[in-house]
Copies of this chain bind each other. A is one copy, B any other.
């Protein structure tokens, strides 16, 4: 078991992307609350089509606010080499490039097949490395696709293999629709770990079917050292309207800390940031700690 796990806070991107747009000043207030948790990595925004994701249409403006926090590694999600160029032009030096492991989701999401999206890793990586930016390939629908059903693990293995050959810096696997469970998490990680080798391996879970934390813990047991989470559990799933979102940062911190796994996030500050997020979006968030608080101790 790892003794330390890096948490990347994704509330500002994955958390907000399905919400109604909030003002830039409100987003900066949430950023400040998140930075106050001590988290070292924050997914700040996405450089994608503003018409498809209006909540993140302010990416260039929001990126200007990030310079105030030089100790945090900010990343931005992109879906194309052009998105990577825009992110880098806005000052980002950590690029997340998404490849869907299922063709139907890839086509729905970016209008390209998995093979086409995989081939574009080369251009994204070149763009990023030319500007001394790092590239993480995030493999979406790594376990299940809302259209194609279960994803064959070999499809994930093939993307991981290609990404490493093309020189990416990190790999992550994502349970995009929140359907996987611990046994399948363990199984997939066991298949890709030998390929990933010494590169950092991350995982991204949604709590859509309640198994998000169980899957996250299984991932850590299998050797993952990087986990995405969102304060308050903010974030949804376009294929399960109204469902629970990302695993909540504070719930994850509670579980890992209680398992003697060190994290760079203060639990009390994370609950405070969740309160800020809840107030900004104007509806209840699914986080358990937000309701129950930390446990009563002597």
Q: Give me the interface of A with B, judged by CB distance under 8 Å.
A: 144, 146-150, 177-184, 207-211, 213-214, 216-218, 237, 239-240, 242-244, 248, 251, 254-255, 258-260, 286-289, 291-293, 295-298
**Cβ contact within 8 Å between B210 and A177:** no
Known: A144-B295, A292-B208, A295-B179. A255 touches B214 (CB 8 A): yes
> Complex: how many Å from CA A298 to CA B149?
5
When distances are taken between beta carbons in the complex, the residues of chain B under 8 Å from A209 are: 251, 254-255, 288-289, 292, 295
Known contacts A177-B296, A181-B255; can you find 12 more A-B pairs with CB under 8 A? Answer: A148-B298, A179-B295, A183-B258, A183-B259, A209-B254, A209-B295, A210-B213, A210-B248, A211-B213, A211-B258, A217-B218, A242-B292
When distances are taken between beta carbons in the complex, the residues of chain B under 8 Å from A288 are: 207-211, 243-244
**Cβ contact within 8 Å between A254 and B210:** yes
> Complex: how many Å from CA A239 to CA B296?
9
When distances are taken between beta carbons in the complex, the residues of chain B under 8 Å from A244 are: 288, 291-292
**Cβ contact within 8 Å between A298 and B150:** yes
Known: A213-B214, A254-B210. A181 touches B259 (CB 8 A): yes
> Complex: how many Å from CA A100 to CA B150?
44
**Cβ contact within 8 Å between B149 and A251:** no
Contact of A146 among B181, B286, B296 (CB under 8 A): B296
When distances are taken between beta carbons in the complex, the residues of chain B under 8 Å from A211 are: 213, 251, 254-255, 258, 288
